[in-house]
Chain A
Amino acid sequence: MKERVDVTDVGTPTRTTPRALGTTPRGQRGRRLAPYLFIAAAAVYLLLLTGAPLLDGLWLSLTDTQLLNPTEGAFIGIHNYSSLFADAEFAHALVVTIVYSTATVLGSLTVGTVAAVAMNGAFRGRVLARAILTFPWAVPSVAAVLIFSWIYNKDSGVLNQALSSVGLAQHGWLVDPTWSLFAVTLASVWKVFPFVMLVVLAALQAVPEELYEAARVDGADAFNRFRTVALPFLLPTLRVTALLMTIWSFRRFEIIWLLTQGGPVGSTNSLVISVYREAFVNSELGRSAAMGVVGLVLSTIVTVIFFYVDRGAARKEAL
């Protein structure tokens, strides 16, 4: 067996015979601890900044803590949870969250993928077009929301003006409960689709050009080339992107709050808006924390589903 030098002994003049690493108790201990030492900094960081607040939040959700007296909350068991699930408004917020997230994810994936496919082709001015399409992602949310507020304005917004110019009915996009969730979703898709576009564009550029050419020779039209050649390459990327978009949609706050503040009549009142309201308007920190935990559970369920789907796809790929 090949003899290994004990690195801890290097440079020790009294020892003349090199000893195998791990043969001494000290060496064995060093070998066992080394991996943990490498991840120690990251682990401490995560424990302090993620683990501790998470546990604190879980504890908070089991108390009746008030915003005005945050240190005096008493343990009340699962009372916050039972009251939440008996609350129709909370159930509505969950439905709004799921509808908003599903629509935003599907919308941004569709628009982002179509944009990426378009930007992947060779045409004059492609660099400029890519820069323009990336613009919404770079714009601060507040600025984007202000612009959308003007666009959606019932009386002077360009959307209503455009609709009336082609003879279609005008709507109160942000004040009519029928249209408000649609309007918020549309603004969210506009804001986030460039992220999908960039990720998908990067994935598309990894598709060998010869596969498209082979499909052309085999008689495939543009749709079939996309479906047979590009889409299988994109699916792993799309799955990860869908997961990220879903989690981000669950916790998206600024666009909804700045456009509608969860209104009108709760039509855009998603889970995070409810969490904010419960904590900072109703001062119910404990109940708010319970809502947050439900949101965390929702995100975890989505993540678990994603990993199951991804593992299944990977197994299928390996055949």
Chain B
Amino acid sequence: MPRIRFNGITKTYGDHEVIKTFSADVPDNEFLVLLGPSGCGKSTMLRMIAGLTDITAGELEFDGTVVNGTEPKERDIAFVFQSYALYPHLTVRANIAFPLLMSRFKPYHHLPVVNTLMRRRVLRDPDVDAQVRRVAAMMELTDYLDRRPRTLSGGQRQRVAVGRALIREPSMYLLDEPLSNLDAILRSQMRAEISDLHHRVGKSFVYVTHDQVEAMTMGTRIIVLNEGVIQQYGTPKEIYDSPANTFVARFIGSPPMNLIRCRLDGRSLRFPDGVTLKLPEGCASPSAPDRDVLLGVRAEKISVAPSDAVASDTMPAHIIVSEYLGAETVVAFKLGRRADQTEQDTVAKHDLQQARIPGELHLTPGADFTVRLDLTNVSFFDVDSGERLPVAVPEATR
């Protein structure tokens, strides 16, 4: 169960730098999620951990030992591929048993007839059979052991791939978007199964995904990547509540965090349409006074009220679209009254905000209403760099 240490890892293909100086320290038994959009380098990172892709510069350490030049089979890892990579000509039983077969392989087994006999003998070995059956039972594959992968559904194939990874009981499991080919229901089910598996086997998992729901629900730690650069490394709660920059703020959360440009003047937030809101007592804010900031507010921290319910802590807004999702309604709106907007402003998406309201809410698109922002736990970002601004609770408000 190794502690993984990324020490200035870099990967380049020709002149193209895919991973830029990646450093992180991951404790034992964590469920680490590498999260980021397509092409951000997360799969490359996973392949470098597995030893399938060479590291251009930097050191990768397992328990303090540099493993840069070590072959995959010597790293004591198991890898679940996005396409599952099941051997199509072998049965489910033979697929799951394959790592055990290889662990018992001797050089003389390469002889043609000996090879065939050896494979048969290993598959019939009571010890191997017991292990295969144990894993198959865990993965609910007992009834499919003699079938070939092509006759299985996507979910069953995925379970075979995990079963093949489990049989050797490696110290680390690497999973490369294993749920991306499944439908929504199966994905949700397999999420729970993989999380449960992590608790049961008590080993380190490194999981690559572009789906922030998977990351938030399964990960004990998340590394958010973009264009080969670590954006943030932390627990799901840290990343959700305190995103390091606007990229993380927008990437994590569904709907994403609302970013509203305003001017911070002491404890007041002045918005472009003239509305001024006061930060509540005890609320942390950037220390530098009087500057433009991006205010980050999660969708669930916004509530709506009728347009005539104007109060000192509300802002006028108008509805663009309202999406009823059963348990909640997601309201997309723009700040300011509709009458104050030009037609072009109304359709522009860049300043669209979203609120998540529990239950069902009937709102007419285009209608004016007011929104109330819960400012007790908001984020502040630099307008130019997008970086999170350090905040502190002022002495006077403590």
**Chain A interfacial positions (CB closer than 8 Å to B):** 208, 210-211, 213-221, 223-224, 227-229, 232, 317, 319
B residues near A221, Cβ cutoff 8 Å: 105
Q: A232-B89, A317-B89 are in contact. Are A216 and B99 (CB under 8 A)?
A: no
Does B275 interact with chain A (Cβ within 8 Å)?
Answer: no
B residues near A208, Cβ cutoff 8 Å: 83, 85
- How many residues of B are in contact with the other chain, CB < 8 A? 27
Q: Are B79 and A217 in contact (CB under 8 A)?
A: yes
B residues near A210, Cβ cutoff 8 Å: 81-83, 85
Cα distance A176–B83 in the bound complex, in angstroms? 58
Q: Are A217 and B72 in contact (CB under 8 A)?
A: yes
Extra contacts besides A208-B83, A215-B98 (14): CB < 8 Å:
A214-B85, A214-B87, A217-B73, A217-B79, A218-B98, A218-B164, A219-B99, A220-B98, A220-B105, A224-B105, A228-B90, A229-B87, A232-B88, A319-B147
**Chain B interfacial positions (CB closer than 8 Å to A):** 50, 52, 71-73, 77-79, 81-83, 85-90, 98-99, 102-103, 105, 110, 115, 147-148, 164
How many contacting A-B pairs (Cβ < 8 A)? 62
Most chain B C-beta atoms within 10 Å of own C-beta, residue among A213, A218, A319: A218
Cα distance A215–B89 in the bound complex, in angstroms? 13
A residues near B82, Cβ cutoff 8 Å: 210
* Least CB distance, B105 to chain A, in whole angstroms: 7
Q: Are A214 and B71 in contact (CB under 8 A)?
A: no
B residues near A216, Cβ cutoff 8 Å: 52, 71-73
Q: What are 24 sample pairs from A and B whose C-beta atoms fall under 8 A apart?
A: A210-B81, A210-B83, A213-B52, A213-B72, A213-B79, A213-B81, A214-B79, A214-B81, A214-B85, A216-B52, A216-B73, A217-B77, A218-B164, A219-B102, A219-B103, A219-B105, A220-B102, A224-B105, A224-B110, A228-B87, A229-B87, A232-B89, A317-B148, A319-B147
B residues near A223, Cβ cutoff 8 Å: 110
| A316 and chain B: residue at smallest CB distance | B89
Q: Are B103 and A227 in contact (CB under 8 A)?
A: no
Q: Which of B50, B87, B105 contacts A217 (CB 8 A)?
A: B50
Cα distance A317–B73 in the bound complex, in angstroms? 29
Cα distance A223–B77 in the bound complex, in angstroms? 21
* Least CB distance, B108 to chain A, in whole angstroms: 12
B residues near A213, Cβ cutoff 8 Å: 52, 72, 79, 81, 85
Cα distance A149–B197 in the bound complex, in angstroms? 69
| B80 and chain A: residue at smallest CB distance | A214
Cα distance A51–B354 in the bound complex, in angstroms? 77
Most chain A C-beta atoms within 10 Å of own C-beta, residue among B89, B110, B164: B89
Q: A217-B79, A219-B99 are in contact. Are A227 and B85 (CB under 8 A)?
A: no
| A221 and chain B: residue at smallest CB distance | B105
Q: Which of A217, A232, A319 contacts B52 (CB 8 A)?
A: A217
Cα distance A228–B94 in the bound complex, in angstroms? 11
| B151 and chain A: residue at smallest CB distance | A319
9 tightest A-B CB contacts, nearest first: A219-B102, A232-B89, A214-B85, A219-B73, A210-B85, A218-B99, A217-B79, A217-B72, A210-B81
A residues near B72, Cβ cutoff 8 Å: 213, 216-217
Cα distance A319–B88 in the bound complex, in angstroms? 11
Cα distance A281–B142 in the bound complex, in angstroms? 71
Cα distance A193–B213 in the bound complex, in angstroms? 54
| B91 and chain A: residue at smallest CB distance | A319
